[in-house]
């Protein structure tokens, strides 16, 4: 285990991981805030540090299509996008998952138009949550780097064979410079290993067809297989995390608790907001308030049992959503966390939709959440099930 | 003509994932000749053995026996009618399109 400390933006950390992975093919199209990631990666290729075939395409629809073709041909393939780019590659993302192609894609989370906005929220990833892509979320640049290295092994595992999306917050993580450890090139190379596909178009000795017409007599079975791949990914994610801990020195889980074990109230969140919430929890703890955090690292597969078990001792819970499901109820994370508790407990859960279009989520906002959820814990009564936090009345 | 396969279709645990078809050339086993509205009917007595129908058929459905056109593979012919259009025999073509009757 050897590592060195670097100061990198989240995008540079992702590019560094991609450099060490050295995929056979990367097809991508620039979009804010992903652009500097692909610039950095293309620079590595142009400088001859790696030998990836970079395919410059005319749109994200073409980018994902080129990825599907290359992956079916037997290559290790990556791309990256954000927001509208993901929206444009939408139909091909479902095809990548349906063909069981282990493409890995950093998604630099950004709000969806309209009106047009380039800043962070999670509506891009949440919209595509049921496409059959594994979704891993990152709190900071270190996790972006670590998650990407692990994502390759998760995607390509014969029991999984599903594409993996590594999410991180646009600008907040992608453009902020942080200190992070990167690992030795040879060690990471041996960790990610080689991709050995079972079927590939370029194997002339074993000709196969991808993209067959799949009607009433077979399609359902193929979807059932995908469900199994997603179920299998749970044990593979754990196994890869254990293996990766030998390089990075810590073991990633589906979830990460912060001062959660003895907490009475907690928030559940994804991404960079967890980092801000840690500071608030420290402050509240100093005042004797038993506050905690549950960070969700893996959102697909959804770790339902683990979430319910981690939160079962709490008196009240606030689920934070950086996307609105626009279902006239609340956010998508809230829906699923609440469902995880159904038939298991009567702990009151409330929802906060926050930070849409990059609206800042400050310390005071999070303090307000803890104060209100503490009131719910004390009285057992929910005043507002869903709150739009930080919106002007 | 491939025999109809009567065995049970495979379950999800028994199939290659992702809709991959690992068996080259197995379209011959799949009956695609059920979509026709019109079917080509071949007349041996008018046929001049020019092979234009065989060259142009997009579904390899013109049957050849001992080097000669010998009829239509109705399990795979989709009734596109190209064979009847390209047939040069006059005044009556050697392939005519006839409405399917069940």
Pair (A15, A122) in one structural domain: yes
Q: Which of A162, A199, A221, A233 to mutate to test the interface with B (most CBs of B within 10 A)?
A: A221
How many Å lie between the alpha carbon of A231 and the closest alpha carbon of chain B?
14
Q: How far is CA B66 from its chain centroid? A: 18
For residues A187 and A272, state if they share a domain: no
A228 CB within 8 Å of a chain B CB: yes
By the CB < 8 Å criterion, does A320 face chain B? no
Q: What is the mean pLDDT of residues A99-105?
A: 98
Q: Is A254 on the interface with B (CB under 8 A)?
A: no
**Where residue A339 sits, what CATH number does that domain have?**
3.40.50.920
The pTM for the full model equals 0.91
Instruction: Label each residue of A322-366 as H, E or C.
Output: CCCCCCCCCCHHHHHHHHHHCCCCCCCEEEEEECHHHCCCCHHHH
Spatial CA neighbour of B78 closest among B41, B38, B26: B38
Nearest CB to A221; choose among B12, B21, B22:
B12
Give the domain CATH number at A163: 3.40.50.970
pLDDT in tens, A189-238: 999 999 999 999 999 999 999 998 899 999 999 999 999 999 999 999 99
In a domain, B10, yes or no: no
Q: Residue A211 and residue B24: Cβ atoms within 8 Å?
A: no
Verify whether the Cβ–Cβ distance B11 to A98 is below 8 Å: no
Mean pLDDT of A48-66: 98
What is the tens place of the pLDDT at every residue in A32-46? 999 999 999 999 999
Which DSSP string do the residues of B44-95 spell out, in sequence order?
TTT-----HHHHH-TT--EEEETTEEEEE-TTT-----HHHHH---SSS-SE
The shortest CB-CB distance from B22 to any of A199, A221, A225 is to A199
What pLDDT is stored for residue B5 in this prediction? Answer: 54
- For residues A83 and A202, membership in a common domain is answered with yes
User: Among all residues of chain B, which has the CA nearest to that of A158?
Assistant: B17
Question: Do A77 and A226 share a domain, yes or no?
Answer: yes
Mutate to test the interface with A, among B8, B9, B19 (most CBs of A within 10 A): B19
Rounded Cα–Cα distance for residues A209 and B37 (Å): 29
Residue B21 carries which DSSP code?
B
Within its chain, how far is the Cα of A329 from the centroid?
24
Domain boundary at A192, A216, A248, which? A248
Mean pLDDT by 10 residues, chain B (102 residues): 65 96 86 90 98 96 97 96 98 97 74
Same domain? For A154 and A282 the reply is no
pLDDT for the residue B33: 86
Q: How many domains does chain B have?
A: 1
Residue B46 · residue B88 · CB < 8 Å: no
Please name the member of A101, A207, A222 whose beta carbon is closest to the beta carbon of B24: A207
Does A222 contact chain B (CB < 8 Å)? yes
A267 and A243 belong to one structural domain? no
Query: Contacts of residue B21 in chain A, CB cutoff 8 Å?
Result: 208-209, 212
- Complex ipTM above 0.85? yes
Contact yes or no for A228 and B20 at CB 8 A: no
From the list A161, A212, A229, which residue is nearest B21 (CB)? Answer: A212
Residues A165 and A287 in one domain: no
Q: How does the average pLDDT of chain A come out, rounded?
A: 97
Looking at the structure, tell me whether residues A228 and A287 fall in a common domain. Answer: no
Provide the residue range defining the domain that includes B95.
Answer: 17-99
pLDDT tens column, A313-349: 999 999 999 999 999 999 999 999 999 999 999 999 9
Work out the minimum CA distance from A161 to partner chain B, whole angstroms: 9
pLDDT at A374 over 90: yes
pLDDT, position B2: 46
Reported as half-sphere exposure (CB side, CA atoms, 13 A), residue B92 has a value of: 8
Nearest CA-CA partner of A267 in A193, A334, A218, A320: A320
Both A139 and A223 in one domain: the answer is: yes
Long-range contacts: A377-386, Cβ < 8 Å, 24+? A377/A264, A377/A265, A377/A314, A377/A315, A377/A316, A377/A348, A380/A348, A381/A348, A382/A348, A382/A350, A384/A350, A385/A329, A385/A330, A385/A350, A385/A351, A386/A329, A386/A330, A386/A331, A386/A334, A386/A350, A386/A351, A386/A352, A386/A353
- d(Cα A66, Cα A68) in Å, to the nearest integer? 5
Q: Which residues of A touch B11 (CB under 8 A)?
A: 221
With 90 as the cut, is the pLDDT of residue A255 above it?
yes
Q: How far apart are the first and last CA of chain B?
A: 21
Of A198, A207, A221, the CB nearest to B11: A221
DSSP A15-84: HHHHHHH--SEEEE---TTTHHHHHHHHHHHHTTS---EEEE-SSHHHHHHHHHHHHHHT--EE--B-HH
Please tell me whether residues A46 and A158 are part of one structural domain: yes
Task: Check whether A366 has a pLDDT greater than 70.
Answer: yes
Name every chain A residue with its beta carbon within 8 A of the beta carbon of B18.
Answer: 98-101, 161, 199, 210, 222, 225
CATH for B53? 3.30.70.20
Render pLDDT for A8-25 as a digit per residue (tens, 0 to 9).
999 999 999 999 999 999
Mutate to test the interface with A, among B10, B18, B24, B25 (most CBs of A within 10 A): B18
pLDDT at A51 over 70: yes
Residues of B with CB under 8 A from a CB of A: 9-12, 15-22, 24
Among B11, B15, B21, whose Cβ lies nearest the Cβ of A209? B21
A235–B contact, CB cutoff 8 A: no
Residue with tokens 């178009």: A201
Average pLDDT over residues A73-82: 98
Average pLDDT rounded to a whole number, residues A75-98: 98
Q: Which domain holds residue A364?
A: 255-389
CA A248 vs. chain centroid, Å, equals 19
Separation CA B9–CA A66 (nearest Å): 33
Sign for the pseudo-dihedral over CA of B73, B79, B85, B89: positive
pLDDT of the residue at B32: 84
Same domain membership, residue A219 and residue A70: yes
Is residue A277 domain-shared with residue A374, that is, in the same domain? Answer: yes
Smallest Cβ distance to B18: which of A98, A224, A228?
Answer: A98
Q: Which residues of A touch B15 (CB under 8 A)?
A: 218, 221-222, 225
Give the pLDDT band of residue A58 (cuts 50, 70, 90): very high
> Which of B12, B20, B24 has the CB atom closest to A199's CB atom?
B20
Give chain B positions within 8 Å (CB) of A207.
Answer: 24
Domain boundary among A229, A248, A267: A248
Helix axis angle, A141-156 to A219-248, nearest 10°: 130
pLDDT of residue A180 exceeding 80, the answer is yes
**What's the gap in Å between the CA of A225 and the closest CA on chain B?**
6
| Angle at A260 (CA atoms; ends A255, A266), nearest 5 degrees | 90
**What share of chain A in percent tops pLDDT 70?**
100
pLDDT digits (tens, 9 = 90+) for A110-149: 999 999 999 999 999 999 999 999 999 999 999 999 999 9
The answer to whether position B12 is within a domain reads no
Does some domain include residue B9? no
> What does the pLDDT read at residue B31?
86
Domain tally for chain A?
A: 2
Residues of B in contact with A101 (CB under 8 A): 18
The two beta strands, A265-269 and A291-296, are: parallel
Q: In the prediction, which pLDDT does B1 show?
A: 40
**Cα R_g (chain B), whole angstroms:** 17
């Amino acid at each position: 285990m050897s590592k060195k400390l670097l100061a990198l933006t989240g995008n540079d950390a992702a590019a560094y991981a991609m450099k060490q992975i050295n995929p056979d093919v990367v097809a991508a199209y620039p979009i804010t805030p992903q652009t500097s990631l692909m610039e950095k990666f293309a620079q590595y290729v142009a400088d001859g540090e790696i030998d990836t075939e970079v395919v410059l395409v005319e749109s994200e629809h073409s980018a994902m299509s080129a990825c599907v073709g290359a992956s079916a041909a037997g290559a290790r393939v990556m791309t990256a996008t954000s927001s509208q780019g993901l929206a444009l590659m939408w139909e091909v993302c479902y095809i990548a998952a349906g063909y069981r192609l282990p493409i890995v894609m950093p998604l630099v989370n950004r709000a969806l138009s309209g009106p047009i906005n380039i800043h962070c929220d999670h509506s891009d990833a949440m919209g595509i949550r049921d496409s059959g892509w594994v979704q891993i979320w990152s709190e900071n640049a270190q996790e972006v780097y670590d998650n990407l290295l692990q994502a390759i092994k998760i995607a390509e595992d014969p029991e999984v064979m599903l594409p993996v999306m590594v999410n991180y917050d646009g600008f907040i993580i992608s453009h902020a410079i942080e200190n992070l450890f990167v690992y030795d090139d040879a060690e990471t190379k041996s960790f990610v290993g080689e991709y050995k596909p079972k079927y590939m178009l370029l194997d002339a000795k074993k000709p196969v067809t991808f993209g067959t017409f799949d009607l009433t007599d077979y399609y359902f079975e193929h979807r059932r297989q995908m469900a199994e791949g997603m179920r299998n990914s749970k044990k593979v994610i754990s196994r890869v995390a254990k293996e990766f801990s030998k390089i990075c020195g810590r073991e990633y889980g589906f979830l990460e608790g912060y001062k959660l074990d003895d907490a009475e109230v907690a928030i559940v969140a994804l991404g960079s907001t967890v980092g801000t919430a840690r500071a608030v929890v420290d402050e509240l703890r100093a005042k004797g308030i038993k506050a905690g955090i549950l960070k969700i690292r893996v959102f697909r597969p959804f770790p339902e049992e683990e979430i319910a078990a981690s939160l079962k001792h709490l008196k009240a819970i606030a689920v934070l959503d950086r996307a609105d499901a626009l279902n006239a109820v609340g956010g998508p994370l809230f829906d699923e966390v609440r469902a995880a508790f159904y038939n298991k407990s009567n702990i009151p859960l409330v929802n906060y939709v926050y930070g849409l279009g990059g609206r800042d989520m400050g310390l005071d906002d999070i303090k307000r959440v803890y104060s209100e959820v503490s009131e719910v814990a004390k009285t057992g009564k929910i005043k507002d099930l869903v709150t739009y936090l930080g919106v002007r009345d | 003509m491939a025999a109809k396969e009567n065995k049970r279709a495979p379950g999800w645990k028994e199939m290659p994932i992702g809709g991959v078809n690992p068996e080259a050339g197995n379209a011959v086993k799949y009956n695609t000749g059920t979509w026709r509205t019109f079917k080509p009917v071949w007349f041996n007595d008018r046929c001049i053995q020019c092979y234009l129908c065989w060259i142009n058929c997009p579904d390899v459905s013109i049957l050849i026996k001992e080097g000669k056109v010998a009829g239509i593979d109705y399990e795979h012919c989709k009734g596109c009618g190209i064979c009847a259009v390209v047939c040069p025999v006059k005044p009556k073509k050697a392939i005519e399109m006839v409405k399917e009757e069940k």
